[in-house]
Structure formats: structure tokens, C-alpha cells
Homo-oligomer: A and B are copies of this chain.
Amino acid sequence: MALRAGDHSQVAMNGLKEKVLTLDTMNPCVRKVEYAVRGPIVLRALELEQELRQGVKKPFTEVIRANIGDAQAMGQKPITFLRQVLALCVHPDLLNSPDFPEDAKRRAERILQACGGHSLGAYSISSGIQLIREDVARYIERRDGGIPADPNNIYLSTGASDAIVTVLKLLVAGEGRTRTGVLIPIPQYPLYSAALAELNAVQVDYYLDEERAWALDVAELRRALAQARDHCCPRALCVINPGNPTGQVQARECIEAVIRFAFEERLFLMADEVYQDNVYAEGSQFHSFKKVLTEMGPPYAAQQELASFHSVSKGYMGECGFRGGYVEVVNMDPAVQSQMQKLMSVRLCPPVPGQLLLDVVVSPPAPSEPSFAQFQAERQAVLAELAAKAKLTEQVFNEAPGIRCNPVQGAMYSFPRVQLPPRAVQRAQELGLAPDMFFCLRLLEETGICVVPGSGFGQKEGTYHFRMTILPPLEKLRPLLEKLSQFHAKFTREYS
């Protein structure tokens, strides 16, 4: 006998009261949240791993988690210098050990001096350790060819995700037709759709152009904005560059056009630049929104509001588990900035070990320091291998009939388009699944390869994709790509 939700006095005949918190009574915005990168396909991958451990026979011997940009889980080694500095800070007795280089020790001492009680175990101030904010500012200035950065506009965070959600929170307001709308790219990284659903803001989709290597087209922004103004109040524009999941690296002219558009249309700009160190393609180069905006001069330089996000989880270091990141705000209303600072203070502080790793990332060993050579060699090795894997991925996929993959210019993912036969689409619909979810689930069951269906990122109606990281080790990646291509061929035959 089902109980009606919200009936406080009703008791079932078995003496059980209905739960207070049920699907019917819980936060409806949370129910709407979706997050494909860790969705049902990943839960199934976890089960399969457990079955393998229990000795259940499968057509594969291991699950390959190509669903998430988690470099170290795929075998990438941590950068030695980062971990040396961190170990010294965690356990300062090691400062007396002869096994650590002098520059690592100096850095550890400098950071500990800046910590409460000279310990990583103390809270930092909520915006992050001041010394590290200053180091981040100097990093941004170097990156942007000398354009000044103010440490007081930099806020350290628990990974970039935390900072992105914080800025979105500030922007959300209104009801009905005045509700805040936020323009996000399609395909997008699903943190955006998830956060907007949770915050009850309106997601406004603009489509990237797959035919032009996922380029951002201002005419499409204009279309999306005009349509959105009929039913909400668009107030922010999110850009992911280099692109996740698309791998696209934006040209400088494109960024200029986006900034002009945002300025004219009065949109707060959010630039997700966590892959700024991950640019592989010849002719591609990372241009920060901050730099372009500043170089465009008035009125943009002094007026266009911008938040730019970075992280220690990606780049060459891939230290995802430490949850370090930052946001730099540009031209933000000082009163709003105080409000943001207040909001951050409620969560006390970002994890201090992540702050510390960020510090080393933004101030790596100098050429004169003993650790310079090894640091550079490790960094280059990771980036060179990622570049080779980006190239290989594009190449192998494009040799497969029915798969088409844009160049992976940057970031850590390919987002190939797959043709799915109409009978497969029909079968998926019968099962209540998105067709590419059906494809990815079958792929997982038969090959152990875990990738995320394009429907989790958004795609043009009637097109199908998946996102696959380029992170598996090079020696595993080629067989993996071939296995995936072969599975697609077999799947196509099966449903033709």
C-alpha cells in the first residue's frame, strides 16, 4: 500500500511511518541534476571490476577507465619535485634528511612559514594562503606577457569545480522570466549543467560547430541568446578553452569576438581554462581570456567582467586527488567580491595540501636550482606523450568507417562522432536508453572499455558521440583504440 507523500499523520498498516525524506519530498532541483562522467556507466564499470576480482569470467581481463581525466589513475607518475615539497611540509622532520634536494627544502620552509602554526594542519584564510595567492599572481603575469595580476583578485579553491559553482551561485537570481540564464557550450563539461540544475538557473545551450573542429561561432551565440531572452534573463557566458570534451583550442580572433559579444550583450564571462597547459596541435596556442581582454583595450579592458578558472588536476601534473585550484576575477564589482569572499568563508578553507601543490605548479624550479633539470624532463615527457596520444587517437579513429574524430588540439579527450544504425537506435529506444548510452554500455560489457556517451555532454539531435580520454599509456592506447573501432564495426553489422 503506497503512502501519499506529505501526509504527516498517516501510518501504514504494518506500523511503518513513511520516511520524512523521499523522492517526492526531497529537493526537486537535486533530482534534476545529471553528471554523466560518474553516471550509470561508471557504476556498472565498478561492478564489473568487482566481478573480475571475484573470478567471474568476462571477455576482457581489465576495465579501462577512459571516462574521466584522471592521469595518475591511468599510470602517469607524479612529478617528483611536487611530491618532495609536499612530503617535507607534511612531515617536517624530513627537512633534516639528506635525501631531499635543497630547493625542495627551501620551498617547504617558505610555505610552512606562511601556514598557521607553521603546519599544513591549520586552516588557511578562506581565500587561500596569501603567499600562494601572490605566487599565482606572478604566474599569471608571466603567462600573460606581463599584464598585471592582483593577488587580491585570486581565490584558491577545492579544485576548479568549487570555484565555478561559487561564481555561478553569485549569478543566480530571479523567478520565471527574470530567472538567470547561463550560456554554456554544447557539448559541455557536465559540471555546468549539473550546477545550473541544482541552483535552479536556466541552461542556455549554444552549439559548437563540429564541422569546424568544434569552433565557437558568435552567430550561434547570438541565436542562443535571442531565443533565451524570451523566457529568462541571460547573465553569464561560459567558455571552456581548451575544450572539454571537444579538445578544441580557440583562436585569438574567436576569443576577441566572444569578448565583444559578451560586452555588448552584458554577459558576465566565465572562462574555464583548466587545460591551459594541455595544447598539442601545431599552430594551436593557448590565449587566456584575461590577456586578450586586456590587450583589446577600452572599453573591454576596464569593464568586461570575467572569472578565469585553473586547477592542479590537469596539465602535466594531474594531481586530481588533492583538489587544488583557483579563480581569478577581473573587473568584478568590489561589493560583489566581498560577498563572494564571505560565501567562501563558510566552508572555512580549501584543502591546504592542494594549495601547496598549486604553489609549486605556479612557481616551478628555476634554471639555477638543483631540481630544474629533472622537473623539466618529467614535465616535457608527460606533455610529449600526451601530444603523441592525441595524434594517435585522431588517426586511429579516423581510419575506422563510421567514426569521425576532430583533431585533439588540446585538453585530454577525444569526442568522436559515431554512426549508429537505425535498428540500434530503435533497440535503444525500446530499452529506454539514449542510443549512444546503449552503444557505450555494450562496449563496456564486451570489451571492458569505459567511455562516456555524448548524450551526457549534449550534442546535436540525431548525432551520437562518446568522450574518451587520451590518458591510457601509449602502449595500451593503440590496441584500445583498435578494439573500440572493431567493436563499433561489429555493433554496426549486428544492427544492420
- Whether a CB of chain B sits under 8 angstroms from the CB of A106 is no
A31/B339 in contact, CB under 8 A: yes
Question: Distance in Å from the Cβ of A124 to the closest Cβ of chain B?
Answer: 7
By the criterion CB–CB under 8 Å, are A235 and B21 in contact? Answer: yes
**A325-349 to B contact mask, C-beta < 8 Å, 1/0:** 0000001110110010011011111
Which residues of B have CB within 8 Å of A235?
20-21, 25
Complex contacts, A165 vs chain B, CB 8 Å: 347
Task: Please determine whether A23 and B322 come into contact, CB atoms closer than 8 angstroms.
Answer: no
Does A41 count as interface, using CB distance less than 8 angstroms?
Answer: no
Q: List 9 A-B contacts (CB under 8 A).
A: A20-B236, A21-B170, A21-B332, A38-B345, A83-B91, A97-B97, A120-B322, A122-B320, A351-B351
**Sample of 10 further A-B pairs with CB below 8 A, known A25-B235, A73-B117, A84-B91:** A16-B299, A26-B170, A27-B171, A75-B117, A116-B321, A161-B347, A320-B348, A321-B352, A322-B353, A351-B353
Interface stretch, picked from A191-199, A409-417, A419-427, is A191-199
A274 within 8 A of B: no
Asked if A135 CB lies within 8 Å of chain B CBs, one says: no
- 1/0 contact string of A309-326 vs chain B (CB within 8 Å): 000000001111111000
**Interface membership of A434, Cβ < 8 A:** no
Q: Would you list which residues of chain A between 29 and 53 have a CB under 8 Å from chain B?
A: 30-31, 33-35, 37-39, 46
Q: How far is the CB of A40 from chain B (nearest CB, A)?
A: 10
Would A26 and B173 be within 8 Å (CB), given that A19-B305, A159-B348 are in contact? yes
Q: Are A35 and B266 in contact (CB under 8 A)?
A: no
A430-471 contact mask (Cβ, 8 Å, vs B): 1 or 0 = 000000000000000000000000000000000000000000
Cβ-neighbour of A346 out of B76, B119, B158, B191 (below 8 A): B191
Neighbour of A121 across the interface among B72, B335, B336, B348, CB < 8 A? B72
Question: Contacting A33 at CB < 8 Å: which of B27, B35, B117, B342?
Answer: B342
Question: Smallest CB–CB gap between A278 and chain B, Å?
Answer: 16
| A202 located at the interface, meaning its Cβ lies under 8 Å from any Cβ of chain B in the complex | no
The answer on a CB contact under 8 Å between A73 and B27 is no
A8 to B264, CA, bound (A): 10
List B contacts of A195 (CB < 8 A): 346
CA distance A91 to B126 in the complex (A): 27
Q: Looking at the assembled complex, report how far the CB atom of A305 sits from the nearest CB atom of chain B, in whole angstroms.
A: 6
Give which listed residue, B30, B339, B342, contacts A170 with CB less than 8 A. Answer: B30
Chain B CB within 8 A of A172 CB: yes
A78 lies within 8 A of B25 (CB): no
Indicate if the CB atoms of B303 and A16 lie closer than 8 Å: yes
CB distance from A438 to the nearest CB of B (A): 21
| Chain B residues within 8 Å of A119, by CB | 72-73, 78, 321
Q: Which residues of A come within 8 Å of B, CB atoms?
A: 8, 15-17, 19-23, 25-28, 30-31, 33-35, 37-39, 46, 68, 70-76, 78, 83-84, 86-87, 90-91, 93-94, 97, 99, 115-117, 119-126, 158-159, 161-162, 165, 169-173, 190-191, 194-195, 198, 235-236, 263, 266-268, 299, 303, 305, 317-323, 331-333, 335-336, 339, 342-343, 345-354
Given A116-B72, A339-B30, decide whether A158 and B161 contact each other with a Cβ distance below 8 A: no
Which residue of B90, B198, B322 contacts A83 across the interface (Cβ within 8 Å)? B90
Nearest B residue to A305, CB-CB: B20
The answer to whether A126 touches B342, judged by C-beta atoms less than 8 angstroms apart, is: no
Closest CB-CB distance, A359 to chain B, in whole Å?
A: 14
**B-chain residues with CB within 8 Å of residue A87 when the two chains form the complex:** 87, 90-91, 94
- A266 and B8 form a contact (CB under 8 A): yes
CB distance from A481 to the nearest CB of B (A): 21
B123 touching A70 by the CB < 8 A rule? Answer: yes
Q: How far is the CA of A95 from the CA of B15 in the complex (A)?
A: 57
In the assembled complex, which residues on chain B have CB atoms less than 8 Å from the CB atom of A122?
A: 70, 72-73, 320-321
| Contact of A38 (CB < 8 Å), options: B73, B126, B263, B268 | B126
**B173→A25 contact, CB < 8 A:** yes
Whether B123 pairs with A23 at a CB distance below 8 angstroms is no
- Contacting residue for A72 out of B30, B117, B343, B345, CB 8 A: B117
- Nearest B residue to A347, CB-CB: B161
- CB proximity of A166 to chain B, nearest CB, Å: 9
Is the Cβ of A318 less than 8 Å from the Cβ of B21?
Answer: no
Would you give the shortest CB distance from A228 to chain B, in whole angstroms?
Answer: 13
Chain B residues lying within 8 Å of A94, measured Cβ to Cβ, are 87, 94
Is there contact, CB below 8 Å, between B121 and A171? no
Name which residue of chain B comes closest to A233, CB basis: B6
Structural contact, A346 and B161, CB atoms closer than 8 A? yes
Residues of B within 8 Å of A68, CB to CB, are: 123
